[in-house]
């Protein structure tokens, strides 16, 4: 398989590192706007012919297509912030290859009732083009990171093997990771984090369809496994709520994330000051997006691994019935930062996201996942994916609750 990897940040680096031991991965083109970053990652990988580097503007569809043609790639992997999804998605369609991302096209809040009614939903742009992809015989596999991605696979597995009837599917994400040496240092892209956490969270119910609520609503205490313990989680906008109901039969879908009081306080302050704005404003003689300034002021998550300590847990909680009896299960994956640094040279949050994409490549390459159109992970057989998780160094667990 030959892959054009667009975006060589923390997750992009981890994808390349996890793909490196796989002999069927013939070529991974490391393409980014920051060529020095590509050179840094290429040097760490140590195989320049197998991991060539290219400069690319992820917003330039034509340039992405040119690189795809130059290397005759089979798949374009989008490892950029989701603001670049449209040109990368369209480049794969125009060039004629498989497309994969880990977060779908962005939403737009309802102009009059943002906390009650959906406006443009995550992924709407992509799903509206599903018929075109089907007619062309191409696959766009959306949301194959950890959340969305692995969590969606778990939801499909629960439907197929663990439950007769599902009342609610809730993605629950929590950690006990601390970043030492900084008063505030997110361990994932702050651009994406602001987008997720300050947009109106989406909930799906069979009786109502998709609707929105206030950011950080419905707090609950969730007990995470493997020593992480009890963490308060709150509603956050996330792709699983838009994906799971399309393929998994249930009555309700939610996503809740353990942010912590300090993080929520910082996000609220950024919003209050307008620093979450992604549209450029004029500062003296320069046009700059406030959100980009915030991102530039914070440490790069890709270089925080040696300062991070603890574990992160991603998983899917399912409530329903089996053989007429009530049942609750949490299917999860826990990544230890120290272990990820030792094995991959990448911090746990990005490594836990990246391995899922490489398993997806694996399943496509070996014909275990086959389809055309615009699809989420739930559309495929979950067993081959879950069987490979331990082999990739990220075993799953199942906890009865």
Determine the average pLDDT of the residues in 97-121: 96
358: number of Cβ within 10 Å: 25
What is the band of 259 on the pLDDT scale with cuts at 50, 70, 90?
Answer: confident
The listed CATH number (3.40.50.10320, 2.70.150.10, 3.20.20.150, 3.30.360.10) that belongs to domain 150-346+395-400: 3.30.360.10
Which residues contact residue 295 at a Cβ distance below 8 angstroms, ignoring those fewer than 6 apart? Answer: 189, 190, 191
Give percent above pLDDT 90 in the chain.
83
More confident residue, 349 or 185: 349
Comma-separated ranges of CATH 3.30.360.10 domains in the chain? 150-346+395-400
Predicted pLDDT of residue 255: 97
Query: In this predicted structure, what is the pLDDT of residue 59?
Result: 97
Q: What is the CATH number of domain 2-101?
A: 3.40.50.720
Rounded mean pLDDT, 148-167: 98
Q: Which residue has the higher pLDDT, 200 or 305?
A: 200
What DSSP assignment string belongs to 64-128?
Answer: HHHHHHHHT-SEEEE-S-GGGHHHHHHHHHHHTSEEEESS-SPPB--SS-TTTS-SBPTTHHHHT
Q: How many helices and strands in the chain, by DSSP H and E?
A: 14, 20
How many whole angstroms from its chain centre is CA 161?
25
Which candidate, 99, 165, 166, places its Cα nearest to that of 133? Answer: 99
Q: Is the pLDDT of residue 189 over 80?
A: no
Q: What is the pLDDT of residue 182?
A: 81
Closest by CA to 301, choosing from 196, 185, 192, is: 185
Does 7 score more than 90 pLDDT? yes
pTM of the model: 0.93
Would you state the pLDDT for residue 246? 97
pLDDT at 303 > cutoff 90: no
Residue spans in the chain of domains classed CATH 3.40.50.720: 2-101
- Tell me the average pLDDT across 342-353: 93
pLDDT band at 262 (very low <50, low <70, confident <90, very high): confident
Asked if residue 302 has pLDDT above 80, the reply is: no
Name the pLDDT band for 373 (thresholds 50, 70, 90). Answer: very high
> What confidence tens digit (pLDDT) does each residue in 322-340 have?
999 999 999 999 999 999 9
Residue range 382-391, pLDDT digits in tens: 999 999 999 9
Question: Does position 71 have pLDDT exceeding 90, yes or no?
Answer: yes
Which residues, other chains included, contact 207 with Cβ-Cβ below 8 Å and sequence gap of 6+? 251
Phi/psi of residue 275, each to 5°? -80, -5
């Amino acid at each position: 398989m030959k892959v054009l990897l667009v975006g060589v940040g923390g997750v992009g680096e981890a994808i390349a590192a996890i793909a490196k031991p796989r002999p069927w991965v013939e070529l991974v083109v490391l393409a980014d706007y920051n060529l020095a970053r590509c050179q840094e990652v290429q040097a760490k990988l140590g195989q320049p012919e197998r991991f060539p580097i290219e400069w690319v503007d992820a917003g330039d569809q034509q340039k992405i297509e040119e690189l795809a043609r130059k290397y005759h790639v089979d798949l374009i992997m989008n490892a950029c912030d989701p603001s670049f999804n449209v040109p990368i998605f369209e480049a794969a369609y125009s060039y004629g290859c498989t497309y994969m991302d880990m977060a779908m096209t962005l939403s737009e809040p309802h102009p009059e009732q943002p906390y009650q009614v959906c406006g443009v939903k995550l992924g709407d742009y992509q799903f509206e083009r599903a018929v075109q992809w089907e007619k062309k015989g191409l696959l766009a596999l959306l949301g194959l990171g950890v959340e969305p991605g692995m969590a969606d696979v778990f939801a499909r597995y629960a439907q197929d093997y663990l439950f007769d009837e599902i009342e609610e599917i809730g993605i629950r994400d929590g950690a006990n990771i601390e970043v030492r040496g900084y008063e505030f240092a997110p361990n994932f892209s702050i651009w994406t984090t602001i987008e997720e956490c300050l947009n109106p969270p989406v909930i799906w119910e069979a009786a109502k369809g998709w609707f929105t609520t206030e950011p950080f609503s419905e707090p609950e205490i969730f007990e995470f496994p493997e020593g992480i313990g009890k963490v308060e989680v709150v509603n956050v906008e996330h792709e699983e709520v838009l994906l799971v109901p399309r393929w998994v039969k249930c009555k309700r879908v939610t996503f809740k994330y353990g942010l912590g009081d300090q993080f929520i306080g910082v996000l609220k302050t950024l919003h209050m000051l307008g620093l979450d704005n992604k549209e450029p404003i004029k500062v003296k003689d320069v046009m700059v997006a406030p959100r980009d300034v915030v991102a530039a002021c914070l440490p790069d998550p890709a270089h925080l691994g040696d300062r991070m300590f603890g574990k992160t847990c991603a998983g899917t909680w399912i409530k329903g019935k089996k053989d007429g009896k009530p049942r609750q299960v949490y299917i999860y994956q826990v990544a230890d930062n120290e272990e990820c640094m030792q094995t991959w040279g990448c911090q746990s949050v990005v490594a836990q996201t990246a391995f899922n994409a490489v398993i997806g490549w694996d399943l496509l390459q070996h014909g275990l996942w086959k389809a055309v159109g615009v699809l989420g992970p739930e559309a495929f057989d979950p067993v081959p994916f879950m069987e490979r998780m331990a082999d990739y160094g990220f075993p799953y667990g199942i906890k009865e609750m």
